[in-house]
Amino acid sequence: MELLEEIHPGEILQEEFLRPLGLSVRGLARDLDVPPSRISDLIHGRRPITPDTALRLGLFFQQDPRFWLQLQLEYDLRQLQRERQDDLRQRIRCLSAEQISSRSI
C-alpha cells in the first residue's frame, strides 16, 4: 500500500491558520503564553503537538483540541507505517481468518 507523504501538523498550522489570518509566530506564542521557540519548532516540524499545545491552540482558535491531537496522531502513524510496516509484517505472526471468526468479540 502506497502511503501519502506525511504533512507535519506544524505545516498545517502555518499554512492553514497563521498565514491566512496574518498571525506571526511571535504573536501566536505571546497569545498562547508559550515561548516563541515552541511555535517555531512546531511549524518547522522539529516538535510534535503535545496535549498542552493542542489545548492552547484549541482555546485560541475556539475549536476542539482533539483536532490538533488527531493531526499529530495521523502524522505519527503514517511516519511509523512508512518506516516500520514492511519489517513488522515479516516479524509479526497474525491471527488467521479462522481464528478471528471463531472468537466472539
Whole-number Å distance between alpha carbons of 55 and 49: 10
Residues 97, 59: Cα–Cα separation, whole Å: 45
Q: Could you give the number of structural domains in the chain?
A: 1
Reply yes or no on whether the pLDDT at 1 is more than 50.
no
| Residue 70, domain member (yes or no) | yes
More confidently predicted of 104 and 96: 96
Of 78, 89, 86, nearest in space to 3 by CA: 78
> Could you give the CA distance from residue 40 to residue 63 in angstroms, rounded to a whole number?
21
CA distance 6 to 82: 9
Condensed to tens digits (0 to 9), the pLDDT of residues 41-75 reads 999 999 999 999 999 999 999 999 999 999 999 99
List the one residue out of 27, 79, 73 whose CA is nearest residue 50.
Answer: 73
User: Does residue 3 sit within a domain?
Assistant: no
Has this prediction a pTM greater than 0.75? yes
CB neighbour list of residue 70: distance below 8 Å, 6 or more residues apart: none
Give the CATH number, domain containing residue 44: 1.10.260.40
What pLDDT shows up at residue 104? 62
Q: What's the domain range around 71?
A: 9-102
